[in-house]
Chain A
Amino acid sequence: MSMAAEERSARAPWALTAPALMLFVGVLLIPLAMTVMLSFHDWGQYKGIEPVFILKNWHEIATDPYYAEMFWRTFRIAILTTLLTALLGAPEAYILNRMSGRWKSFFLLVILGPLLISVVARTLGWALLFGGNNGLVNKLLMSLGAIRSPIPFMFTETGMVVALAHVMMPFMVLSVWAALQRLDPQIENAAMSLGASPATIIRRIIMPQIMPGVLSGAIIVFSLSASAFATPAIIGGRRLKVAATLAYDEFLNTLNWPLGAAVATLLLVALVLIVVGSNALIERRYAEVFR
């Protein structure tokens, strides 16, 4: 390669990525930095936002138990949603993987397709199914004898977890599915020929191998559930607040932007720490297993 061509190929990647890089710095990194700064500003009912540096908002979040309760509710809902998707999604992915070609791709489409359908429409569907004390879900559960009296789903955490689990399920199935593709079916056959029972095969052969898939699915589901907005807002109503709906209220109803910015910043930082931390943990854990 000539000198000129070499120089060009060193500059080419930067020339090609420069427009996107400028876009991202200009309208992503700067706005994010402005939001963090906003959380240190002062606000008053009549004076509006005052660009000073104070810890008022952070102090309020740290000391007022209302925020501790709200964040704890947010993460409790996210944890329960994650557990529910893992408990149901992992077996379903395994069952799907054992189906024959055409059924497999058909059901994969049916289960993954909702991922791209409007969250508002899907949550509306749950609101219709829950519908007060005589909603379809309660009628069905009572006629099956599973419950005696109707469970309140609307405006409760139970309802939020069920609807969120439905919204997030495709991510879990997809993630476990990807792990199953790397699994060698011959190992299962070998275990069976050596006399292992189906339960032992699942516990000793399948589970350890799909665990990384379950865990990476869990991270995605957890972070998306903890920051979900549409489902908690529609199912939870105006009273049962989570971090995202509270930030929305501060910004568009109370107009206390600095406090809303502090809630959003805390949510972002907490999620980044949890995601990065658990990713590192999983990688270390499974690096040891496969070494």
Chain B
Amino acid sequence: MRRNGPLALIFHTIFVIVMVAPILVVCLVAFTPEGFLSLPTNGFSLRWFRTIANYPEFIHAFWVSLGLGALSSLVGLLFAVPAALAIARYRFRGRDVLAALFLSPLMIPHVVLGIAFLRFFTSAGLGGSFAALIIAHVIIVFPFALRLTLAAATGMDRSVEMAAVSLGAGSWTLFRRVTLPLILPGVISGWALAFIQSFDDLTMTVFLAAPGTETLPVRMFLYIQDNIDPLVTSVSACVIAITMTALILLDRFYGLDRVLAGKGDTGR
């Protein structure tokens, strides 16, 4: 195969710079010592990170986001793991329809989901509640939890399970002692990817959150709508740092390329 020529490398360099620039500029501006938006030319300062402490609504929103992401991903997995095992192992009528239904939240615009959930939970008397946010987030993280669990379950060696059954293991013991440990890397990565999706969602959550249940992206969005100042860049820098940490863990555990390429779509 031919190597990249100089023109290709120039294109590549510009491309990468443009891809990184917006993220980099947010992180740089966060360290400005000035009272206004500017690149830190006279040394770095943590003043805007300290200022976050004076805004309890950001800190509260952070805890809401963290709890919401952790819980909804966990609940999503409770539903997704059995469903993934069924889709990976059995050929039954309606299997393709079910798989399509379970992946459909990827296809439906989040603005439509937000509206549908707002209408639904308001008529159910749950409008603006944390419970409503959890249920809504379970739906949007479900495809990610399902896909990674499915990939793990499809690639699993069944002979160990057969050995366990022949030794007299009951179905619960079989799942707990054999199947679950074998698919655990996929399940944990599914949880992490689901967490990131939930932690970052703005479009759907902005319809459902009420004061008190605002998540961090919602709080940031509402803040940016009024004015953009260095405070919101330091909050963004923290969010980027958290996501990066999750990404690195995900990469170590599972391989980021596999996660992003979404290998093993419906196990076909």
With an 8 A cutoff between CB atoms, is A1 at the interface?
Answer: no
Contact B112 A267 (CB under 8 A): yes
Contact B217 A120 (CB under 8 A): yes
With an 8 A cutoff between CB atoms, is B183 at the interface?
Answer: no
Contact B247 A113 (CB under 8 A): yes
Interface string of B103-141 (1 = CB under 8 A from A): 011011111100111111001000000000001101100
One of B11, B24, B110, B120 near A227 (C-beta < 8 A): B110
Which size bracket describes the interface of A in this complex? 35 or more
Contact residues of B between 200 and 237, Cβ < 8 Å to A: 200, 202-203, 206-207, 217, 220-221, 224-225, 228, 232-233, 236
One of B3, B83, B220, B236 near A16 (C-beta < 8 A): B83
Contact residues of B between 1 and 43, Cβ < 8 Å to A: 1-4, 8-9, 11-12, 15-16, 18-26, 29, 37
With an 8 A cutoff between CB atoms, is A211 at the interface?
Answer: no
Contact A114 B82 (CB under 8 A): no
With an 8 A cutoff between CB atoms, is B191 at the interface?
Answer: no
Interface string of A156-193 (1 = CB under 8 A from B): 00000001001001100010001000000100110010
What does DSSP make chain B's interface, helix, strand, loop or mixed?
helix
- Cα of A32 to Cα of B204 in the assembled complex, Å: 14
CB-defined contacts of B86 to chain A, threshold 8 Å? 12-14, 16-17
- Cα of A169 to Cα of B112 in the assembled complex, Å: 23
Chain B residue, CB-CB nearest to A224: B109
CB-defined contacts of A117 to chain B, threshold 8 Å? 23, 200, 239-240, 243-244
With an 8 A cutoff between CB atoms, is A126 at the interface?
Answer: yes
Contact A88 B260 (CB under 8 A): no
Given the known interface contacts A107-B16, A109-B256, A267-B109, the answer about A120 and B202 at a Cβ–Cβ threshold of 8 Å is yes
Q: Which of B51-59, B66-74, B94-102, B156-164 contacts A (4 or more CB under 8 A)?
A: B94-102
With an 8 A cutoff between CB atoms, is B148 at the interface?
Answer: no
Chain B CB within 10 A, most for which of A13, A20, A119: A20
With an 8 A cutoff between CB atoms, is A34 at the interface?
Answer: yes
- Cα of A185 to Cα of B135 in the assembled complex, Å: 48
Give the shortest distance, in Å, between B166 (CB) and chain A (any CB).
14
With an 8 A cutoff between CB atoms, is B172 at the interface?
Answer: no
With an 8 A cutoff between CB atoms, is B80 at the interface?
Answer: yes
Contact A17 B202 (CB under 8 A): no
- Cα of A227 to Cα of B18 in the assembled complex, Å: 24
Contact B260 A115 (CB under 8 A): yes
Chain B CB within 10 A, most for which of A34, A115, A230: A230
Contact B139 A92 (CB under 8 A): no
CB-defined contacts of A210 to chain B, threshold 8 Å? none
Contact residues of B between 81 and 99, Cβ < 8 Å to A: 82-83, 85-87, 89-90, 92, 95, 98
One of A21, A166, A234 near B224 (C-beta < 8 A): A234
**With contacts A92-B11, A112-B257, A188-B1 known, what are 16 further pairs, Cβ within 8 A?**
A24-B139, A31-B120, A32-B112, A34-B120, A107-B12, A113-B247, A117-B243, A128-B228, A166-B22, A185-B1, A188-B2, A229-B110, A230-B203, A244-B203, A264-B112, A267-B109
Residues of B within 8 A of A (CB): 1-4, 8-9, 11-12, 15-16, 18-26, 29, 37, 78-80, 82-83, 85-87, 89-90, 92, 95, 98, 101-102, 104-105, 107-112, 115-120, 123, 135-136, 138-139, 142, 196, 199-200, 202-203, 206-207, 217, 220-221, 224-225, 228, 232-233, 236, 239-240, 243-244, 246-247, 251, 256-257, 260-261
